[in-house]
Structure 1
Amino acid sequence: MSDSRVARRLGQHGLRASRRLRYLYLSVALWRRRAPIWIAAILIGLVAAVFANGSHLSHELFYQIYDQSPLWALLITPAGLGLSVWLLRTFFEGAGGGGIPQTIIAMQPGMHALRARILTMRAAVGKMVLTLIGVGCGSTMGYEGPIVQVGAAIKYSLNREAALRHEGVARSFILAGAAAGVAAAFNTPLAGIVFAIEEMGRTFDQRASSTILLSVILAGITAIAVLGDYNYFGVVSVALELRSGWMAIPVCGIVGGIIGGLTSRAILALASRLPGPLHDWRSHYPILFAIACGLLLAVIGIASDGITFGTGYFRAKEIIEGGGSSMQEYGILKLLSLIITYISGAPGGMFAPSLAVGAGFGLNMSLLLPFLPQAAMVLLGMVAFFSGMTRAPMTGFVIVMEMTSSSSTMIIPLMATALVATNVSRFMNRHALYDGQAEIFLRQLRARNQAN
C-alpha cells in the first residue's frame, strides 16, 4: 500500500475520531446545561410536597390545640403573626409579600438587584418558614402564592450563570419555576401552564414553552410520587345543563365579579395606605400591628366557632361536597379574615383562601337558585370570585376544573362565568389584583432605592 493511501486512511480515521469527540463534547455540554433545569424542577416538586404536608400538619395542630380550648387562639394567632413579621424583618427580608407580585416585577428587564434579593435559596427557605408559621397560627393565608416565588427562586438560583448571560433565559427560568410551583402545589399541570402565560408572562416568549412544559411535568411527577395522585378539593360529580341552569352563569358571574373587584380595590387601597392613624402604627410598630391583627383574627375565629381559621381548604371542601348548611356567613367572614391577614404584613398567599371565599359566596348564591345543584353553584362561585379578584379567567376556570375533576358539562359554565366575572370586575376596579400589587411593590422599591 502506498504512503499516500495510508495517509489518506489515517486522515479519514482521524476525522471520524474528531467528529465523535466533538459529538461527545457537545453531548456532555448539553447535559451540563440541562441537568440544573431538571434538578430544579424535581426540587420544586419536593418543596411543594413539603409545603402541602407542612401546611396540613400545622393546620391540624392548630385545631387540636383549639379544640382543647378556643381561648388558646387569643395567644397563638397574635404570637404567630408577630413572630412571622419579626423574622421577616430580622432574617428574611427578601421573603416578604404574597410571592406572585414580587415574581412579576423580578421578570422585568434590568431587575438584577431585585432578583439577587428575592430569588435566592435564603429567600425561598424564609418564604416557606414564614408561610407555615402563618398557616399554623390560624391566619387566612395559603402556600400556593408563596410557592410561585419559591419555585422561581429555585429555578433561577440553580441556573444563575445562564440567567445572568441572557435576559430572555432568565425570564424563561422564572416563568418555568412559577408554573412548576403552581402545578405541583395544586396537582394541576394545565393550570400551571395557563397561569404562567396569563398571569405571569402576559407577553409570552415561545422559546420558554419547552422549559415551562418540562418543568411542570417533572415537578408534577415528583409531587405525585410523594403525595400520591389526588384532587385538591376532591372529586365532584355534578352536572349543570345549560338549558335549565343557564341563569347560574350571570348570577354567579355578576355577583362574583362585583365582590371580587371590590375586594381587589380594597386590598390595593389598604396596601398603599391604611386609614387614619393605623398607617403610622403599621409603619413605626409593624410587629405590634401584626399582633393586633392576629388578636382580631382570633376574636373573629372564636365568634364563628372556628370556621374562619386557616387557609379555608377543609371548609371549602366541605361546602363543595354538600355540607356547610350552617356556614351561610362563611364567605363574608372569611373575606374579612383574608383582608386582615393581608394588612398584617405577614408573608403568605391569597390563592387558596380566595377560592375558599368564593366557595362561601357560592353557597350563598345557591339559595337564590335552589333548584340547581349546590355543588355546581359553589364551583361557579369559586371561579367567579377568583376571576373577579385577579382578572385571570383562564387560570380561574382551569384551576377549579382540575382541582375538582369536574365533569365535562361544567367546562362551558365555568368558562362563561369566569369571563362574565372578569368583565364585571373592570367596572369595580381599574387594576387587576396582582398587577396592582406589582405596581405598588415597584413604587416602594424605587422609593427605597432613592432613599439609599
Structure 2
Amino acid sequence: MTTESLPQKTKEQPTKLVRRFLASHKSPLTVLCLSPFVGLLAGLLCTGFDIAIDAVMDTREGWMSGREPGWEMISLVVLSSSLLSAFGFLLVNRFAPEAAGSGIPEIEGALDGVRPVRWWRVIPVKFFGGVGTIGAGLVLGREGPSVQMGSSVGRMLTDIFRLKDDEGRHTLVASGAAAGLAAAFNAPLAGIMFVVEEMRPQFRYNLVSIKAVIIAAIVATITYRSLQGQGAMIPLPSYPPVPLSSLGLFLVLGLLFGAIGVLFNRLVVMTMDGFDRLHGHKTSRFIAVGAFLGAVFGAMLLFLPKLTGEGVALIPDAAHGDFALTALFGLFMIRLVTTLACFGSGAPGGVFAPMLALGTLFGTFFGMLCGELFPGMDITAGTFAVAGMGALFAATVRAPITGILLVIELTHNYDLILPLLITTLGATMAAQAMGGKPIYSQLLQRSLAKQKAKEAQTIEQDEQGVSSSS
C-alpha cells in the first residue's frame, strides 16, 4: 500500500503548488486592483475639497469687490470667518480629535501600527472642518487634509472589501497618502516620492506596494486635471539655467534655511504646547480659540490680505520682485508668526503651502540682497525664490527629493534642478548638523507621549477610585 500511494502523492503535488501560488498572489492582485479606485476616490474627494474652499473664498470676495469696507461689510466678513473657523474647531473637538492639524503624523502612526484610522469620522470632519478653517482665511494648507483623507479612503476600501492581509491594508493606506498629495498639488511624482522618502521608516517597500502607490497617484492626478485643468498650480516664468559662478550662493541659502527649518520645527512644538495650556482641552475654550482666530483673520482679509491664507497666490508676486527688500523680510517674519499661530492652534489644515510661501519670501529676499552685493553675477531673484521653496521644505520635513520634485511640478521650472539640489542638500545637512528632527516625526512622538500620559492618568484615577471604595 505504501508503494501504491507514492505515485498518487506525486500526481497531487502540481495541484498543491498551483493552489499555493494562487493563495500567495491573491492579496497582491487584490491590492493592485483596488489601488486605482483609491486614486479615483481620493482624487474626487481632494478635488472636491479644493473646489469647496475656493467657493467659500470666491463668495467672500464677491461681497468685498467694488465696495468700501464699511461697518456692515467688516461685520459680515469678520463674523462669517469667525463662525467658519469655530465650526472647524468644533468638528475636530467633538467628533475626531485625530483630524486636528495636518493629519500626516496620524497616517505615519497608522503605517507604523501605533495609531488607528477611523475613516468614517476623519473624512467628513477633515473635509468640512478644513473648508471652515482654510476658508476663514487662516494660514493653513490643503495638502495635509488631502493626505489624511486619501489615506482614510485607502483604509475605507480595505474595510469595505474585507481585506484581511496586513501588508495589503498597509499598502492601500500608503497609496491613499500619495494620491492625496498628488491631487492636492497636481504633482504625481511628489506624491509618490513623499511616501517613499518622507514615510520611509513606516512604508513597507516592495514591488507590489510601490506599484500600488504609483497607480493611485496617477489616477488621482488624472482625476484632478480632468476637473481643474493641467496648468501649473504656481504660475512662474521659466527661468534660464543659473550662472555657474552663483551656485555657491545657493549653498549659502540652503545652510541658512537649514537653521530656519530647525527653529521653525521647535517653534511649532512650542506653539502647540502653548495652545494646549491656553484651552486646557476644554471644548468651550478650544472653540473660542477658533472663533477668535477666525475673527482676526477675517479682519485681516479686508485690510492685510497678503498675511492671510495659504500663501500660494503670494508666491508669484514675491518671485516677480513686486516687493522691496524690507517688505519681503517683513512679510516673511509676520507670516512666520501667523503660520505658527494657525498651525499650532490645532485647526484642521496643513503647513506645506504656508512653508512654500515662507521659502519664497526669504529666498527672494536673499536673491535681491545678493543682486545688490554682487552686481556682476547676473543674478535673478526669482531663481532663489524657487530654490527657497524646496529648501525650507527639505529642512523641516527632511525630504529633499520630495521638495525638489514638488517645486518643479508646481512651477514647471525644470532648468533649476541643479540649484535646487544644491540648496536642499545644504538645508538638509545644516538641519541634521544642528540636531533637528523631521517635523512630522516630532509631532507623532508628541502625540504618542500625550496619549501615553493620558492612559497613565486614567489608570491612576481608576486605582485611586478602587482604593477609596475599599
TM beyond 0.5: yes
8 Å Cα contact 1:156/1:163 also seen in 2: no
Q: Which residue of 2 aligns with 1:60?
A: 58
- Rate the CA distance shift 1:33–1:363 in 2: closer, same or farther, 3 A: closer
User: How many residues align structurally?
Assistant: 420
8 Å Cα contact 1:48/1:181 also seen in 2: yes
Q: RMSD between aligned alpha carbons? A: 2.9
- Per the TM alignment, residue 201 of structure 1 is displaced from its structure 2 partner at its CA by 3.0
Greater alpha carbon shift after TM alignment, 73-82 vs 218-227: 73-82
In 2: Cα distance, 1:354 partner to 1:282 partner: 28
8 Å Cα contact 1:141/1:348 also seen in 2: yes
Superposed, 1:382-401 pairs within 5 Å as 382-401=389-408
In 2: Cα distance, 1:33 partner to 1:367 partner: 50
In 2: Cα distance, 1:380 partner to 1:95 partner: 31
| Residue type of the alignment partner of 2:380 | P
Deviations 1:224-271 (A, max 9, x none): 111121211024310243423213312321222222220111102222
8 Å Cα contact 2:74/2:299 also seen in 1: no
Q: SS state of the match for residue 84, structure 1?
A: helix
- Per the TM alignment, residue 124 of structure 1 is displaced from its structure 2 partner at its CA by 1.1
Q: Which residue of 2 aligns with 1:86?
A: 90
Deviations 1:310-364 (A, max 9, x none): 1111111322344344842222221111111022221111011110111111221
- Per the TM alignment, residue 85 of structure 1 is displaced from its structure 2 partner at its CA by 1.0
Tell me whether 1:424 sits opposite 2:422 in the alignment: no
In 1: Cα distance, 2:422 partner to 2:25 partner: 48
In 2: Cα distance, 1:336 partner to 1:412 partner: 31
8 Å Cα contact 2:254/2:423 also seen in 1: yes
Q: Which residue of 2 aligns with 1:138?
A: 137
Q: Which residue of 2 aligns with 1:71?
A: 74
| Residue type of the alignment partner of 1:212 | V
8 Å Cα contact 2:269/2:344 also seen in 1: no
Tell me whether 1:187 sits opposite 2:186 in the alignment: yes
5+ residue gaps, structure 2: 1-23, 372-377, 460-470
- Per the TM alignment, residue 140 of structure 1 is displaced from its structure 2 partner at its CA by 0.4
Q: Which residue of 2 aligns with 1:95?
A: 99
Q: SS state of the match for residue 305, structure 2?
A: coil
Q: SS state of the match for residue 128, structure 2?
A: helix
- Rate the CA distance shift 1:83–1:415 in 2: closer, same or farther, 3 A: same
8 Å Cα contact 1:37/1:159 also seen in 2: no
| Residue type of the alignment partner of 1:101 | P
- Per the TM alignment, residue 219 of structure 1 is displaced from its structure 2 partner at its CA by 1.2
Give identity over the alignment, percent: 25
Q: SS state of the match for residue 122, structure 1?
A: helix
In 2: Cα distance, 1:251 partner to 1:110 partner: 39
5+ residue gaps, structure 1: 1-25
Tell me whether 1:372 sits opposite 2:379 in the alignment: yes
Q: TM-score, normalised by structure 1?
A: 0.84
Q: Which residue of 1 aligns with 2:286?
A: 286
Q: Which residue of 2 aligns with 1:413?
A: 419
Deviations 1:421-449 (A, max 9, x none): 11212345532111101111122233344
8 Å Cα contact 1:45/1:184 also seen in 2: yes
Deviations 1:34-53 (A, max 9, x none): 55432221111112221222
- Rate the CA distance shift 1:373–1:286 in 2: closer, same or farther, 3 A: same
| Residue type of the alignment partner of 1:375 | G
Q: TM-score, normalised by structure 2?
A: 0.81
- Rate the CA distance shift 1:415–1:218 in 2: closer, same or farther, 3 A: same
Deviations 1:368-408 (A, max 9, x none): 21241121011111112221221111111110011111132
In 2: Cα distance, 1:167 partner to 1:31 partner: 14
